[in-house]
Amino acid sequence: MGRQPCCDKLGVKKGPWTAEEDKKLVNFILTNGQCCWRAVPKLAGLLRCGKSCRLRWTNYLRPDLKRGLLTEAEEQLVIDLHARLGNRWSKIAARLPGRTDNEIKNHWNTHIKKKLIKMGIDPVTHEPLDKKSSSPKQDHTSPPQLDHESENHRESTDGAHVTTSEESTSSLPENCSSVDESRSIDTSNPDQDASLITSLLWEDDYQTVPLPNSSWQIPVTGDNYSGNGGSPWNENSTWLSFDYQDFGVEDFDFSCFNGMDMDLEMNMNMSTSLEIGHHQHN
């Protein structure tokens, strides 16, 4: 007997989610908290595979998501993080509260990449393009030093992996040259806030900030969902074609998202204030 496919290909709906499906999924999760994703579609009455449900939730329905374009500060942060972590979008996303890996990945591919190229910076290595082309050692097929470094980071930054002391000591805050490079990428950028964010983030002992959904299985209990703007859903619920009160969960407590690490909250506050600061710049 072979391994079961992640979902029955037969009778599983694909493609864009309808408001009705969203509603079912959110309603189910808010009511039941987390159970295994594989079981979610069945229990929620959805003709989707669990994977699809998880993706929909994490990328779109999660209440702590920010919507809209990344701010300059966030963008700069993504660049800095990418210089260190490479294409590990989930790790990068973990440092940007309210942003998903998919969102960041998309933004990188559609905006930042082009921006960097325009600025003469290789989006893969984060080195100047002309420098790169003049370097006989490097070619585009073999990712240069930075990629090698990021391979090390892959080990040292991934909590699941055991790190050697050498790897971990050389991992992040100490080895800041690339950040300095990327900081100097755009000296005309009035938004030095991003550098501040980055440095503060690295000071944070480079502990991976847990994603909010790491704790979303905490049962829904409280009564302050309608809160004081604390719930990101308040501001952002407009992007949904329905109102969360439709679910009868107006008293839903987002305490499961309060489980977010203080870092995360700090970062959120920080980026919010930076955002404001940035707007004031403009």
Partner DNA sequence: AAATGAACCAACCGCATCAAC
Partner DNA sequence: CGTTGATGCGGTTGGTTCATT
Instruction: For 121, list phi and psi in degrees, rounded to 5.
Output: -115, 135
Structure tokens at 162: 């055991």
Q: What is the DSSP string of 55-97?
A: HHIIIII-TT---SPPPHHHHHHHHHHHHHH-S-HHHHHHTST
Of 89-148, which residues contact DNA (CB under 7 A)? 89-91, 101-103, 105-107, 109-111, 114
Q: What is the dihedral of CA 26, 29, 30, 35, to 10 degrees?
A: 180
Q: Which stretch binds DNA (CB under 7 A): 71-79, 82-90, 168-176, 197-205?
A: 82-90
Residue number with CB closer to DNA (170 or 236)? 236
Q: Return d(Cα 75, Cα 43) in angstroms, integer.
A: 39
Q: Return d(Cα 115, Cα 110) in angstroms, integer.
A: 9
Instruction: Give which of 44, 43, 56, 51 is closest to 8, Cα–Cα.
Output: 51
Q: Return d(Cα 28, Cα 126) in angstroms, integer.
A: 43
The yes or no reply on residue 60 touching DNA (CB under 7 A) is yes
Least distance CB 26 / DNA (angstroms): 13
The yes or no reply on residue 10 touching DNA (CB under 7 A) is no
Least distance CB 110 / DNA (angstroms): 3
Maximum CA extent, the chain: 64
Least distance CB 96 / DNA (angstroms): 12
Q: Return d(Cα 22, Cα 56) in angstroms, integer.
A: 8
Q: Which listed residue (47, 55, 129, 196) binds DNA by CB under 7 A? A: 55
Residue number with CB closer to DNA (160 or 262)? 160
The yes or no reply on residue 50 touching DNA (CB under 7 A) is yes
Instruction: For 103, list phi and psi in degrees, rounded to 5.
Output: -65, -45
Residue number with CB closer to DNA (116 or 183)? 116
Least distance CB 192 / DNA (angstroms): 24
Residue number with CB closer to DNA (115 or 222)? 115
Of 226-255, which residues contact DNA (CB under 7 A)? none
Q: Which listed residue (27, 59, 168, 237) binds DNA by CB under 7 A? A: 59
Q: Which stretch binds DNA (CB under 7 A): 54-62, 141-149, 185-193, 258-266?
A: 54-62
Least distance CB 59 / DNA (angstroms): 6
Instruction: Give which of 88, 201, 107 is closest to 149, Cα–Cα.
Output: 88
Least distance CB 49 / DNA (angstroms): 7
Of 158-187, which residues contact DNA (CB under 7 A)? 158, 160-161
Q: Return d(Cα 113, Cα 70) in angstroms, integer.
A: 14
Least distance CB 116 / DNA (angstroms): 13
Q: How many CA atoms lie within 13 A of 58 on its CB side?
A: 21
Instruction: Give which of 125, 117, 62, 129 is closest to 93, Cα–Cα.
Output: 62
Least distance CB 225 / DNA (angstroms): 23
The yes or no reply on residue 43 touching DNA (CB under 7 A) is no
Residues of this chain that interact with DNA (CB under 7 A) are: 1-4, 6, 13-17, 36-38, 48, 50-52, 54-56, 59-60, 69, 87-91, 101-103, 105-107, 109-111, 114, 158, 160-161, 213
